[in-house]
Homo-oligomer: A and B are copies of this chain.
Amino acid sequence: MKYLYLFLLISYTTCAQQINIDKLSLMPWPQNIRLHDGTFQITKDFNINITGNPNPRIYSYATRFLRRLDGRTGNFFTQSYTTSSNQKPNAQLQINCLQQGKIDISQDESYQLKITPKNITIDATSDLGAMHALETLLQLLTVQDGQFVFPALTINDAPQFTWRGLMIDVARHFQPIEVITRNIDAMAALKLNIFHWHLTDDQGWRVEIKSLPQLTKQASDGLFYTQEDIKYIVNYAAERGIMVIPEIDVPGHATAILTAIPEIGSFYNKDKTIKTYTLERNAGIFDPTLDPTNPKTYIILQQIFDEVCALFPFNYFHIGGDENEGKDWDANPKIAAFKKEHQLKTNHDLQTYFNMKLLKILQTNNKEVMGWEEIMTPNMSKNAIIHSWRGVNEGLHAGESLINAAKSGYKTVLSNGFYIDLALGIDEHYNVMLIDEKANLTTEEKSRILGGEATMWGELVTPATIDSRIWPRTAAIAERLWSNSTITDVDFMRKRIVNVSFRLEELGVQHIKNKSVLLRNIANNQDIHALDVLSKVCEPLKIYTRNKEGTEYQSYSPFTLFADACTPDAEDAFIFEKRTTNYIKNKSPENTQALIYYFDLWIQNHEELKLLSTNAPLIQPLLPVSQNLSDIANEFKRILTQQQKINKEQLTKLLAKCESKNHADIELAVSPSLKKLLGSL
């Protein structure tokens, strides 16, 4: 007994000294990490000193770091603010930056973070790396022996790609400033460095243009950013090391601009009057297009670009350029005559002509042009950045324009595969490799692949739901863009992302808490437990199968439904899949019981939901889904408990019902596992 006690004590002590590397919820995973013995204990005396020659943004960043750490640990740090260099030479956390960081791409963002039981040092070329190091440090917070500690270690880190972006479309649904700021905070926490702001589209013009007030007066429903707002956001982002790229999408996606300024539209009215455009309320690709043959078009665009360029003190400007189908161009005899006169054979040539005009405007504003891949036409400047977006959905190979652009001498950024609005599972994005080894790119060609961007298109999101569409999946994309391409273990990523997702809450991100709000509304303020259980096996319809023709929902539709509360990567579906696989491998009593746990849960849950639905009409459309799940669970349970013989025909029918996507805009995410289970019987 004495020996056993001693043995336990030793194990415990050993265990207390070592923190397993697999337990660390780091994301993106650093390039190099070495664990040492021991831990750094966080106490009330924790404080920070900054030396070197950093941009002053590091002082406020470090202060926010202090607040976040204090909020997590409840230590009541005595240090209140970190201010100018070397005020606390003996501080426990020493940050040294050699030089001021510049908000741009291709900067040195590297850092070294070293934690010993006595102190912590961050060495970085500039404040950019130091900010990344502080985020890494926060992710290292661990509990050991009931205390908050940092594990002793050394991390050397730097990004794989320089362009690590998130695009938010604020045209389809406007997103207030606080949505943007909290998402910028989250971006910084995941070491993303580009916020691409899709400011205009058919459904709204969202940026104040002082010389053209009609744009926001007539084409925004009052939902837009003032120039003061833009400056605030640009500064807010820069304070977090993030560059903001504005997008003014032309010549297509132009319903909003033409609602305000119809005379530069391409539509040909036989009576020669000017067409009246009205803001689009549906989703889709629409005809309204700027007229590239009208000199006034360029006068207007010059006014707009000049004002917008002045608001964004960075090098890049996104002109969109996508999905112009040219219908209104083809139908307009004036435009046809212009093409003939200027020897422009195709609409593609005409768009090139248009782009060349824009290029000049941007050059006078010292901006390099960026655009969706359609701008890659023969005359396009090699300084342009080609934004690759088309893929299998558009009948092409995934991201083939990325390779084409790199081979043709263009810098390029990948978004195909990173369309987070498609409501796909996290693996789909995580498994995207930016550099296709089969493409045999030269080193120089590879270097033109700057990175990638997650794209949050806004047709189906509101301020209440957008966070859960962006996070936590974009954290996995951030890892793809930052970490070494050998970091590909999906299970390890899934394990880490749980904690990463939770910690985003401290930045005000609402992806977790707003789910309860939506469920409370659906439940009409009854207990949300049963809805929560169902939501853990349901996912919103994927790849534009929700709102299929773009007309079922309008921009003002109530996005307060169960499908809006559900998210990709339904939690229990993932666990159920693991349990199914285990069961098929080994039909042990434990593995059987692990499945029956869920069958019982779903059967019971359906009864609860039915009860709740009496007083909650919004639950009623979910009952068929819940019923189907309960029915098949009942059948499987009886089979697994050997109360009943296998009736494959019956099970196949029940499975077909579970696989149906006709109810409430959701799909049962456990259907593939149920199918597998059926196949194994």
Q: A residues bordering B, Cβ < 8 Å? A: 60, 67, 70-76, 80-81, 143, 146-148, 176-178, 221-222, 226, 228, 281, 464, 498-499, 502, 505-506, 508, 510, 512-514, 516-517, 520-521, 524-525, 554, 556-561, 613-618, 620
Contact = CB atoms under 8 A, between A and B. Distances in A.
Contacts of A226: 228
A556 B221 CA distance: 39
Contacts of A618: 73-74
A523 to B, nearest CB: 10
A119 to B, nearest CB: 21
Given A72-B521, A76-B557, A499-B525, 15 more contacts: A60-B222, A70-B558, A71-B521, A73-B617, A143-B615, A143-B617, A146-B613, A146-B620, A177-B177, A177-B178, A502-B525, A505-B520, A512-B516, A512-B517, A513-B514
Contacts of A525: 498-499, 502
Nearest to A557: B76
Contacts of A176: 178
A81 B221 CA distance: 10
B513 A558 contact: no
A281 B80 CA distance: 9
B72 A560 contact: yes
Nearest to A178: B178
A80 B521 contact: no
Closest 7 CB pairs between A and B? A513-B513, A71-B560, A502-B525, A178-B178, A70-B558, A71-B558, A80-B556
A614 to B, nearest CB: 6
B505 A617 contact: no
A396 B226 CA distance: 50
A510 B67 CA distance: 21
7 contacts: A72-B560, A80-B554, A143-B524, A143-B614, A147-B617, A502-B525, A513-B513
Contacts of A524: 143
Nearest to A73: B617
A502 B516 contact: no
B178 A556 contact: no
Nearest to A510: B513
B558 A67 contact: yes
B148 A617 contact: yes
A239 B502 CA distance: 37
A397 to B, nearest CB: 39
Given A520-B502, A521-B505, A561-B74, A143 B616 contact: yes
B502 A558 contact: no
Nearest to A499: B525
B513 A74 contact: no
A305 to B, nearest CB: 24
A521 B60 CA distance: 23
Contacts of A558: 67, 70-71, 73-76
Nearest to A556: B80
Contacts of A222: 60
A176 B180 CA distance: 14
Contacts of A505: 517, 520-521
Contacts of A554: 80
Nearest to A226: B228
Nearest to A614: B146
A546 to B, nearest CB: 14
Contact of A516 (B71, B147, B516, B617): B516
A664 B616 CA distance: 39
A60 B221 CA distance: 10
A556 to B, nearest CB: 5
B146 A617 contact: yes
A606 to B, nearest CB: 17
Contacts of A516: 512-513, 516
A508 B502 CA distance: 21
A425 B72 CA distance: 29
Contacts of A512: 516-517, 520
Contacts of A178: 176-178
A177 B176 CA distance: 11
Nearest to A664: B74
Nearest to A222: B60
A81, A517, A554, A615: most-surrounded residue (chain B CB, <10 A): A517
Contacts of A228: 226, 228
Nearest to A503: B525
A575 B319 CA distance: 61
A178, A221, A464, A554: most-surrounded residue (chain B CB, <10 A): A178
A165 to B, nearest CB: 25
A560 B503 CA distance: 13
A228 B520 CA distance: 36
A221 B59 CA distance: 12
